[in-house]
C-alpha cells in the first residue's frame, strides 16, 4: 500500500482579464455583494447576473447512478461542490509553481500559502453568491489579519489575481472581478464561532498545507452544520488517485477526487473533472483485523506514530500504516481503500472542527463510524474546537468494538509507562 503519494500533473490558469476603467455600480438587488467588485469586464445587468448564477446551479437528478431522492440540502450541496472544485483549481495552479515567497508563517508558526487564502476567498464568495438568501455564517481556518499588513501588499495582490483568474474559468463568474478589499472581506466571512443553533458552513481551505507544500496530498474540506449537526460535506482531493490506493506504492492513473455526502443520502465520489457523475461509495466490510490496514498522518507531529502502531499490533493488523496528509484519509477510508484511520495528537493539542467535519460525514454516510478515544460520537456544536477525549478513530461498524478495546488498552499502557519515567 502507498506509504506516500506524490504529485499529479496540473494545469495552469489563463491570462488575466483587463479591467475596464469605469466601475459598474450594482443596484440594491445585489447590495449584499457590492463590496466584492471593483469593476466588471463587460457591461452586464444585475438581473442578468442573477440569472446567470441561478442557471449555473447544478441540480442532481434522481436517475441513473446519481444520489436520490432529492434532499433538503440539495441546493447547498451543488453550491458546495462548485465552490470546492473552483478552489481546487486555484490550489492546483499554485502547487504547480509553488514559490517560497508564497509561503507565510502564522503566529502559531504553522505555514499558510497564497493558495490557503485564495481557496478560502473563492469558497466564501461562491457560497455567498450561489446561496444569497438568508444570513451567511462560516467557521473557517484563515483570517485576513496578516494580509492587511503593509508587508503583505504583494502577496494580497497575487491572491487577488489568482482568485480572479480562477473565477474567470467558470461561466457564471467570468464577468466578475474582485477587488483586494473584496478578497479580504470574503476571507473574513469565515470568522463565525459556529455553535449549536442555526446553519454554519465549516471550511478548511487547504487541509494538509504541509502536504501541499511537499507536493503530496491535501484537501479542500467544506461542511455544513445545521443545529449543531454535520448535515453535508464535500472533500476535494486534487492529488488523490481515482483508483484505490490500497495496493499501490505509486501514484498511478488519473487523480482528482470529489467526495460528497448529505445526511441520510449516502456518500458519493466523482472525478474533479467537469461533468463527471458521482458513484456511491462504502467503507470496507472486512471484520478481520488481519485484512485491515490503517491510515494516519504523514506528519509525526500531528499524531503519535508509536501509539498507533501499538494499537494496530494489538488489534492484529499486519499491513504497515499508510501515511498521507489531510482529510484525503477520510475519503480513502470511505471508499474502502483501507479499514481504519487513527489520529492521536500530542497531549494538549485541541482539534478544530474544520479538520474533521467534512471527512466525518463522508465516512459516516459511507457506513463507517468516527469517534473519540472513548468511543463517543464527535460533537461539532461547541464552537471552533472539538471537545473530545484524547484522539480520533474511524473504521467500519464491525471493527469498531475491537478497535475501541485496543485503543483503550494502548492508552492505558502508554500512561503507565509515562508514570514510571
Indicate the residue among 49 and 221 with the shorter CB distance to ligand A3P. 221
In angstroms, give the least distance from the CB of 207 to Mg ion. Answer: 4
- Which residues are catalytically annotated? 116, 209
Indicate the residue among 353 and 369 with the shorter CB distance to ligand A3P. 353
In angstroms, give the least distance from the CB of 350 to ligand A3P. Answer: 9
Give the residue among 140, 155, 163, 147 at the shortest CA–CA distance from 106.
147
Q: Segment near ligand A3P (CB under 6 A), from 46-54, 85-93, 144-152, 202-210?
A: 202-210
142 is a contact residue toward ligand A3P (CB under 6 A): no
The residue from 27, 250, 349, 389 that contacts ligand A3P (CB under 6 A) is: 349
209 is a contact residue toward ligand A3P (CB under 6 A): yes
355 is a contact residue toward Mg ion (CB under 5 A): yes
Indicate the residue among 265 and 326 with the shorter CB distance to ligand A3P. 326
165 is a contact residue toward Mg ion (CB under 5 A): no
Annotated binding-site residue? 355: yes
The residue from 12, 110, 197, 285 that contacts ligand A3P (CB under 6 A) is: 110
Compute the distance between CA of residue 258 and CA of residue 269 in angstroms, rounded to an integer: 6
325 is a contact residue toward ligand A3P (CB under 6 A): yes
The residue from 128, 355, 365, 372 that contacts ligand A3P (CB under 6 A) is: 355
Helix H, strand E, coil C: the string for the chain is CCCCCCCCCCCCCCCCCCCCCCCCCCCHHHHHHHHHEEEECCCCCHHHHHHHHHHHCCCCCCCCCCCCCCCCCHHHHHHHHHHHHHHHHHHHHHHHCCCHHHEEECCCCCEEEHHHHHHHHHHHHHHHHHCCCCCCCEEECCCCCHHHCHHHHHHHHHHHHHHHHHHCCCCCCCCEEECHHHHHHHHHHHECCCCCCCEEEEEEEEECHHHHHHCCCCEEEEEEEECCEEEEEEEEEEEEECCCCCCCCCCCCCEEEEEEEECCCCEEEEECCCCCCCEEECCCCCCCHHHCCEEECCCHHHCCHHHHHHHHHHHCCCCCCEECCCCHHHHHHHCCCCCEEEECCCCCCCCEHHHCHHHHHHHHHCCEEEEECCCCECCCCCCCECCCCCCEEEEECCCHHHHHHHHHHHHHHHHHHHHHC
In angstroms, give the least distance from the CB of 206 to ligand A3P. Answer: 6
The item of Mg ion, ligand A3P, none sharing an interface with residue 326, based on CB under 5 to 8 Å by kind, is ligand A3P
In angstroms, give the least distance from the CB of 299 to ligand A3P. Answer: 5
Cis preceding linkage at 69, omega within 30: yes
Annotated binding-site residue? 207: yes
252 is a contact residue toward ligand A3P (CB under 6 A): no
The residue from 46, 215, 228, 345 that contacts ligand A3P (CB under 6 A) is: 345
Annotated binding-site residue? 227: no
Segment 122 to 161, residues that bind Mg ion, using CB under 5 A: 141
In angstroms, give the least distance from the CB of 141 to Mg ion. Answer: 5
Q: Segment near ligand A3P (CB under 6 A), from 19-27, 241-249, 345-353, 383-391?
A: 345-353
The residue from 302, 337, 338, 396 that contacts ligand A3P (CB under 6 A) is: 302
What is the contact surface with ligand A3P in residues (CB under 6 A)? 110, 141, 204, 206-209, 211, 297, 299, 301-302, 325-326, 345-346, 349, 352, 355
Amino acid at each position: 500500500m502507498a506509504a506516500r503519494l506524490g504529485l499529479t500533473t496540473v494545469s495552469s490558469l489563463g491570462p488575466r482579464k483587463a479591467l475596464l476603467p469605469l466601475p459598474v455600480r450594482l443596484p440594491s438587488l445585489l447590495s449584499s455583494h457590492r463590496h466584492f467588485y471593483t469593476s466588471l469586464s463587460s457591461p452586464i445587468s444585475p438581473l442578468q447576473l442573477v440569472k446567470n448564477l441561478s442557471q449555473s446551479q447544478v441540480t442532481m437528478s434522481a436517475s441513473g447512478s446519481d444520489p436520490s431522492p432529492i434532499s433538503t440540502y440539495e441546493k447547498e450541496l451543488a453550491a458546495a461542490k462548485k465552490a470546492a472544485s473552483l478552489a481546487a483549481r486555484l490550489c492546483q495552479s499554485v502547487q504547480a509553481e509553488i514559490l517560497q515567497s508564497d509561503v507565510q508563517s502564522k503566529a502559531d508558526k504553522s505555514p499558510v500559502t497564497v493558495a490557503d487564502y485564495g481557496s478560502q476567498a473563492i469558497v466564501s464568495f461562491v457560497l455567498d453568491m450561489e446561496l444569497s438568501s438568508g444570513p451567511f455564517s462560516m467557521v473557517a481556518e484563515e483570517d485576513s489579519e496578516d494580509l492587511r499588513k503593509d508587508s503583505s501588499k504583494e502577496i494580497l495582490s497575487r491572491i487577488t489575481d489568482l482568485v480572479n483568474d480562477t473565477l474567470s474559468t467558470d461561466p457564471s463568474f467570468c464577468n466578475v472581478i474582485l477587488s483586494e478589499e473584496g478578497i479580504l472581506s470574503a476571507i473574513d466571512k469565515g470568522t463565525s464561532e459556529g455553535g449549536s443553533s442555526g446553519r454554519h458552513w465549516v471550511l478548511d481551505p487547504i487541509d494538509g498545507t504541509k502536504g501541499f507544500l511537499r507536493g503530496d496530498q491535501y484537501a479542500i474540506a467544506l461542511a455544513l452544520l445545521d443545529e449543531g449537526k454535520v448535515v453535508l460535506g464535500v472533500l476535494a482531493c486534487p492529488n488523490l488517485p481515482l483508483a484505490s490506493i490500497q495496493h499501490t506504492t505509486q501514484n498511478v492513473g488519473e487523480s482528482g477526487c470529489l467526495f460528497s455526502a448529505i445526511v441520510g443520502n449516502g456518500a458519493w465520489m466523482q472525478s474533479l473533472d467537469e461533468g463527471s457523475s458521482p458513484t456511491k461509495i462504502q467503507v470496507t466490510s472486512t471484520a478481520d483485523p488481519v485484512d485491515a490496514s490503517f491510515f494516519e498522518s504523514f506528519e509525526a507531529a500531528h499524531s503519535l506514530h508509536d501509539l498507533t502502531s501499538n494499537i494496530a499490533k494489538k488489534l492484529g493488523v499486519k499491513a504497515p500504516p499508510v501515511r498521507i496528509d489531510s482529510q484525503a484519509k477520510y475519503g480513502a477510508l470511505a471508499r474502502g481503500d483501507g479499514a481504519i484511520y487513527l489520529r492521536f495528537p500530542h497531549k494538549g493539542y485541541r482539534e478544530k472542527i474544520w479538520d474533521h467535519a467534512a471527512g466525518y460525514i463522508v465516512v459516516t454516510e459511507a457506513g463507517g463510524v468516527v469517534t473519540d478515544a472513548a468511543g463517543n460520537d464527535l460533537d461539532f456544536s461547541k464552537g471552533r474546537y472539538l471537545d473530545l477525549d484524547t484522539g480520533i478513530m474511524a473504521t467500519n461498524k464491525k471493527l469498531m468494538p475491537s478497535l475501541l478495546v485496543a485503543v483503550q488498552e494502548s492508552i492505558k499502557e502508554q500512561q503507565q509507562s509515562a508514570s514510571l519515567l
